[in-house]
Amino acid sequence: ATVHVATTAIVSYEEDKIEHSKQLSRVFEEAQPVLKSIRQELNSLNIERTLPKKRSSKKKSEAAVAPISNSSTIGIEGKAGKSHFTVQVGESCNLYKTTKRPAMSPKQQQPIIADLHGLTKEEALCKLDSSLPQWIDIAMKGSYPFVIPVKIVCGCGSQVLSEVVENWVRQNASVANAPKRLHA
């Protein structure tokens, strides 16, 4: 009895495939004129590929006005170095983990700025050394990563203070140059 059921199932399956094929053939026969007209329409469009656009070379335009020679600046070179340093101050193990500007509390809406204009090397170092514990304390009272940005302004003069600040940053473990995206 089981052999008879299996053979009728196979025969039934084959018959179903043939019937399905016949019905599908009818669908294709009905759709053939529509598909043919679509194919002809597409072929008549004669679509051509266009070349990619040429990139325009950005040429720097020449200055409309010629530079003026100022006799008072002859022999004086341009200022070198940095006029200010934006540094991170705080817990030394987190100085390089900061990737965003810290959210400032209402008390600290204004960024900390240390202005060293007009100070001698010794006065500048004394001011930085005396301010550092206060800055670290502010950072530690803040939120993780316990680091705050500080802008140290040294001016554009002879760059003596710029060198002093640069060396001071290197020597202090609780201070690091801020990433460029954090510069104010």
Q: What is the 3-state secondary structure (H, E, C) of the chain?
A: CHHHHHHHHHHHHHHHHHHHHHHHHHHHHHHHHHHHHHHHHHHHCCCCCCCCCCCCCCCCCCCCCCCCCCHHHCCCCCCCCCCEEEEEEECHHHCCCCCCCCCCCHHHCCCEEEECCCCCHHHHHHHHHHHHHHHHHHHHHCCCCCEEEEEEECCCCCCHHHHHHHHHHHHCCCEEECCHHHCC
Residue 122: per-residue pLDDT: 92
166 has a pLDDT exceeding 70: yes
pTM over 0.85: no
pLDDT bracket for residue 117 (50, 70, 90): confident
The strand order across the sheet containing 112-115 reads: 112-115, 147-153, 84-90, 175-177
Report the percent of the chain where pLDDT is more than 90.
12
With contact defined as beta carbons under 8 Å apart, do 166 and 128 qualify? Answer: no
pLDDT at 133: 92
Q: Are 25 and 18 in contact (CB under 8 A)?
A: no
Percentage of the chain surpassing pLDDT 70?
70
Name the least confident of 54-58, 76-80, 108-112, 123-127: 76-80
Give residue 37's identity as a one-letter amino acid code: S
Angle at 142 between CA 139 and CA 146, to 5 degrees: 50
Question: For residues 176 and 103, is the Cβ–Cβ distance under 8 A?
Answer: no
Burial of 85 (0-12, 13-18, 19+ CB in 10 A): buried
The pLDDT tens digits of the residues spanning 119-151 come to 899 999 999 999 999 988 988 888 877 888 899
Predicted pLDDT of residue 106: 47
